[in-house]
Amino acid sequence: AAVRKYQFDIKVKNVSRLCHAKPIVTVNGMYPGPTIYAREGDRVIVNVTNYAQYNMSIHWHGLKQYRNGWADGPAYITQCPIQTGNGYTYDFNITGQRGTLWWHAHILWLRATVHGAIVIMPQQGTPFPFPQPYREFNILLGEWWNADVEQVEKQGNIMGLPPNMSDAHTINGKPGPLFPCSEKHTFVMEVESGKTYLLRIVNAALNDELFFAIAGHNMTVVEVDAVYTKPFTTQSILIAPGQTTNVLVQADQAPNRYFMAARPFIDVAIAVDNKTATAILQYKGVPNTVIPLLPNLPNPNDTQTALDYNKQLRSLNSPQFPANVPQKVDRNLFYTVGLAMNACPTCVNGTRLQASLNNITFVMPQVGLLQAHYFNTSGVFTTDFPDKPPRPFNYTGAPLTANLRTNHGTRVSKLAFNSTVELVLQDTNLLTVESHPFHLHGYNFFVMGTGIGNFDPAKDPANYNLVDPMERNTVGVPTGGWTAIRFRADNPGVWFMHCHLELHTGWGLKTAFVVEDGPGPDHSILPPPADLPPC
Ligand code: C2O
């Protein structure tokens, strides 16, 4: 195994998009940021130095960080932020994982521009379990605001108002020629006829699930969230913020220029957002003057295509890569996911939008939860997060005003080491139904089942996939429906779980699990590094 060293300088740079220049926060002046390359089994050391005016922290999204939450990154959960002028070294091993993941700022809304891909190759001599691609490309999908992103965040988070929608979606940081002043910066992927390419697609957008397609070309999905899938072929993929998807594309069409495009999937009519980001797949030798063809993308409200797509995802579950699905459950959890309207004396109208799990709006602590847990500091959090909502109700039926006002607290759930956990996430119709991509830090989980309406504990578990459910780190809870996940709590530490729509995270749609140490020194949290940032 190798040691891979990276230097990340957090610095502000002027970047111009959509005919506007503005300063953005970057890593090493790059947007999107640099790719981390490693092999399964390697040790990665990233030395972060913060030269920007904002406090910073970096999360390695999807890496399990076994016993090593100190390197996980979410601000005030596993570390205090890296203050301006200071640094911190993230030092971690990549064990038992290979594929595409990504890294991003995990404080404020800075991940809008502070993000990049993590490419983990299989161990030396281990081939992919699918045809060897000729070449590969990273495709990072994102969002661009003309306004300062932190001003947009303030509108959403501090004032509790719906914030401005982004002004563009982007592919590798570029909106593409359907947007003003964007034509000459378009991302172009050059291919040779007859060859096969691997695309590593990341959704780094803040607030939008996206459909992605390539005109004239099918895609074969082979991996999501750094877990191999049973390959299947599709015209378009659906990818939520936080998720990654690897697809094979064959350059088997007439040599030409073809658009690849990304556009939101939004299945409720609260906002009409059909901005389409484009990039170009160009066959070698075709002149740049040829006008590309646009792909057929599902409509922003095409819920059926979204559901059908997700149903096709299955873990590869081969002898080499078995799906170790927990067959029996030690602990059953049921969390409602809701938007709320809370009193706010200082806000316009005296109210503000918030969000809750089991009617609890999570309050961010002032010091890291992992430190508080490790050093037994009392008064930072409580471990009384309820296993069930305070009272059952018709979650997806007419909203009950009784549930519109939430409780507040830094409340987390404690899990016994190595226990098997089932968590049902149930969307509710408080204010409105909406789809929520949930991400759990420190773990992959299995997606046992999903459905529309209220989860029925008497019937729905009978339809769970106990054989080859998709294993991943971020999953959509469908609009007005539920998703059941299972995982084995074998990674001691404090692990954040939240909606990966940045707006909802800011409104309190988050909590954490405290996973207890296991027996003996090999199953307990590692000691903190000496340079862990102080609060
Ligand atoms: Cu990709 Cu807690 O985040």
Q: Which of 96, 128, 160 is the last residue of a domain?
A: 128
430 belongs to a structural domain? yes
pLDDT in tens, 183-217: 989 999 999 999 999 999 999 999 999 999 999 99
Atom of ligand 1 minimally distant from the CA of 474: 1
Same domain, 108 and 139: no
Atom of ligand 1 minimally distant from the CA of 62: 1
Closest C-alpha residue for ligand 1 atom 3:
61
Same domain, 503 and 488: yes
**H-only helix segments in 348-411:** 369-374
Same domain, 351 and 476: yes
- Euclidean distance between CA atoms 205 and 222, whole angstroms: 22
106 lines ligand 1 (CB under 6 A): yes
Domain interval for residue 66 = 1-128
pLDDT in tens, 53-87: 999 999 999 999 999 999 999 999 999 999 999 99
427 pLDDT above the threshold of 80: yes
Q: Which carries the bigger pLDDT value, residue 391 or residue 48?
A: 48
Same domain, 294 and 193: yes
* Cα 115 to ligand 1 centroid, rounded to whole Å: 11
118 belongs to a structural domain? yes
228 pLDDT above the threshold of 90: yes
200 lines ligand 1 (CB under 6 A): no
17 lines ligand 1 (CB under 6 A): no
405 pLDDT above the threshold of 90: no
Q: Which of 104, 128, 152 is the last residue of a domain?
A: 128
Cis (ω within 30 of 0) for the bond into 32? yes
pTM of the complete model: 0.97
- Euclidean distance between CA atoms 52 and 211, whole angstroms: 33
* Cα 496 to ligand 1 centroid, rounded to whole Å: 8
269 pLDDT above the threshold of 60: no
Our separate counts of H helices and E strands in the chain read: 4, 32
Atom of ligand 1 minimally distant from the CA of 61: 1
Q: Which pLDDT score, from 0 to 100, does residue 102 have?
A: 98
**H-only helix segments in 254-340:** 303-311
267 pLDDT above the threshold of 80: no
Same domain, 156 and 95: no
C-beta neighbour count of 352 within 10 angstroms: 21
| CA atoms lying within 13 Å on the CB side of residue 362 | 30
Q: Outline where DSSP puts E strands in 40-145.
A: 43-50, 58-61, 87-93, 99-105, 115-121, 135-144
504 lines ligand 1 (CB under 6 A): no
Same domain, 172 and 304: yes
The predicted model gives 350-360 an average pLDDT of 92
Task: Return the minimum-mean-pLDDT range out of 168-182, 388-402, 432-446, 468-482.
Answer: 388-402
* Cα 72 to ligand 1 centroid, rounded to whole Å: 9
* Cα 279 to ligand 1 centroid, rounded to whole Å: 26
Atom of ligand 1 minimally distant from the CA of 104: 1
242 belongs to a structural domain? yes
Same domain, 391 and 438: yes
Q: What is the CA radius of gyration of the chain?
A: 22
* Cα 507 to ligand 1 centroid, rounded to whole Å: 15
Same domain, 160 and 270: yes
Q: Which pLDDT score, from 0 to 100, does residue 402 have?
A: 67
* Cα 59 to ligand 1 centroid, rounded to whole Å: 7
503 belongs to a structural domain? yes
pLDDT in tens, 457-507: 999 999 999 999 999 999 999 989 999 999 999 999 999 999 999 999 999
- Euclidean distance between CA atoms 476 and 354, whole angstroms: 19
88 belongs to a structural domain? yes
Same domain, 244 and 211: yes
Q: Could you tell me if 116 and 27 are in contact, meaning their C-beta atoms sit under 8 angstroms apart?
A: yes
270 pLDDT above the threshold of 60: no
Q: Which pLDDT score, from 0 to 100, does residue 334 have?
A: 98
- Cβ neighbours of residue 302 closer than 8 Å, sequence gap 6 or more: 211, 265, 267
Structure tokens at 54: 């904002």
66 lines ligand 1 (CB under 6 A): no
Confidence band, pLDDT 50/70/90 cuts, at residue 404: confident
Same domain, 67 and 189: no
510 lines ligand 1 (CB under 6 A): no
320 belongs to a structural domain? no
Q: Look at the chain and report how many structural domains it folds into.
A: 3
* Cα 69 to ligand 1 centroid, rounded to whole Å: 13
> From the centroid of its chain, how far is CA 405?
28
242 lines ligand 1 (CB under 6 A): yes
Q: Outline where DSSP puts E strands in 310-417.
A: 331-343, 351-357, 360-362, 407-409, 413-415
Q: Which pLDDT score, from 0 to 100, does residue 429 have?
A: 85
434 pLDDT above the threshold of 80: no
Same domain, 82 and 141: no
Q: Could you tell me if 249 and 199 are in contact, meaning their C-beta atoms sit under 8 angstroms apart?
A: yes
* Cα 242 to ligand 1 centroid, rounded to whole Å: 7
Would you say the ipTM is above 0.85? yes
Same domain, 227 and 119: no
- Euclidean distance between CA atoms 186 and 188, whole angstroms: 6
pLDDT in tens, 301-325: 888 899 999 999 999 999 999 999 9
111 lines ligand 1 (CB under 6 A): no
Of all residues in the chain, what percent carry a pLDDT higher than 70?
Answer: 98
Q: Which pLDDT score, from 0 to 100, does residue 445 have?
A: 98
441 lines ligand 1 (CB under 6 A): yes
Q: Could you tell me if 207 and 166 are in contact, meaning their C-beta atoms sit under 8 angstroms apart?
A: yes
Q: 241-273: string of b/e by CB count within 10 Å (b at 16+)?
A: bbbbbbbbbbbebeeebbbbbbbbbbbeeeeeb
CATH number of the domain bearing residue 62 = 2.60.40.420
* Cα 56 to ligand 1 centroid, rounded to whole Å: 14
Q: Which of 110, 128, 146 is the last residue of a domain?
A: 128
Q: Could you tell me if 356 and 508 are in contact, meaning their C-beta atoms sit under 8 angstroms apart?
A: yes
168 belongs to a structural domain? yes
Confidence band, pLDDT 50/70/90 cuts, at residue 348: confident
Reduced to 3 states, what is the DSSP secondary structure of residue 523?
helix
Average pLDDT, the chain: 95
Q: Which pLDDT score, from 0 to 100, does residue 391 have?
A: 86
